[in-house]
Chain A
């Protein structure tokens, strides 16, 4: 395991774990607070992807701005009263199925047999050629994924 891999798995675990808290917590303030580690985890992912400016922006806007906004609105509307109210509707199982199906579809698209290796760095892409119509098609001899 390289350092990058460890960092990725730790960040992914933080993001997903706090994402689950955001989604499931019956206490809205807990949800909003758990949003912060989720967003910071995404910040770490940006840094791994060499987008450090974006990482700074993410902390400044999301963690410092939007979260404060959300916390303010929760305090202005719900107060502590929301704890006694049912927080979820009846479509839990269906929603779980839909969300799982969509996620599975994305995973299949990302990691499917045809997809693997399609986005390897190619010499042409590495030389800094940007966003022509053919940027996203790579493996030689295969049909372009853009078409």
Chain B
């Protein structure tokens, strides 16, 4: 029998993977991919709680829908920023983008 806990554990592991990517990757695109994984983990949580804690309700799924929209916007704007930074500085490696530290 699959319970809520199973889904929460899956989501926690996925979130951990995403967090690891964000913390260790040097490339901004790879960090964005980590963020996508984390958002997906959050979505699993939302939908799982929707099914197990409030069956018949749909709010959890709507939240997840909004998170997906948000993820799309974040990816589009984030990647556009990365492209702009690349055209200006010729790099997408975040530890090379140090202008603000000076």
Asked if B68 contacts A62 (CB within 8 A), the reply is yes
State which size class the interface on A falls in.
35 or more
Question: Is residue A140 within 8 Å, beta carbon to beta carbon, of the partner chain?
Answer: no
Which of A12, A95, A125 is close to B10, meaning CB atoms less than 8 Å apart?
A12
Q: Bound complex: CA of A85 vs CA of B92, how far in Å? A: 11
Which of A28, A49, A125, A129 is close to B27, meaning CB atoms less than 8 Å apart?
A28
Interface of A is mostly: helix
Q: Shortest distance in angstroms between B17's beta carbon and chain A's nearest beta carbon? A: 4
Asked if B51 contacts A73 (CB within 8 A), the reply is no
Contacts of B5 in A (CB 8 A): 110-111, 115-116
Which of A16, A51, A62, A73 is close to B83, meaning CB atoms less than 8 Å apart?
A73
Asked if B59 contacts A130 (CB within 8 A), the reply is yes
Interface of B is mostly: helix
Q: Bound complex: CA of A100 vs CA of B24, how far in Å? A: 13
Q: Shortest distance in angstroms between B14's beta carbon and chain A's nearest beta carbon? A: 6
Q: Bound complex: CA of A32 vs CA of B52, how far in Å? A: 32
Residue total for B at the interface (Cβ-Cβ under 8 A): 64
Asked if B47 contacts A46 (CB within 8 A), the reply is yes
Known pairs A22-B37, A42-B43, A45-B44; A135 contacts B16 (CB<8 A): no
Known pairs A8-B6, A15-B14, A138-B53; A91 contacts B36 (CB<8 A): no
Tell me the residues in window 1-57 of chain B with beta carbons closer than 8 Å to chain A beta carbons: 1-2, 4-21, 23-27, 29-30, 32-34, 36-37, 40, 43-44, 47-57
Footprint of B on A, CB under 8 Å? 2, 4-5, 8, 12, 15-16, 19-20, 22-23, 28, 31-32, 35, 38-39, 42, 45-46, 48-51, 53-54, 57-58, 61-62, 65-66, 69-70, 73-74, 76-78, 82, 85-89, 91-92, 94-96, 98-100, 102-104, 106-107, 109-111, 115-116, 119-121, 125-131, 135-136, 138
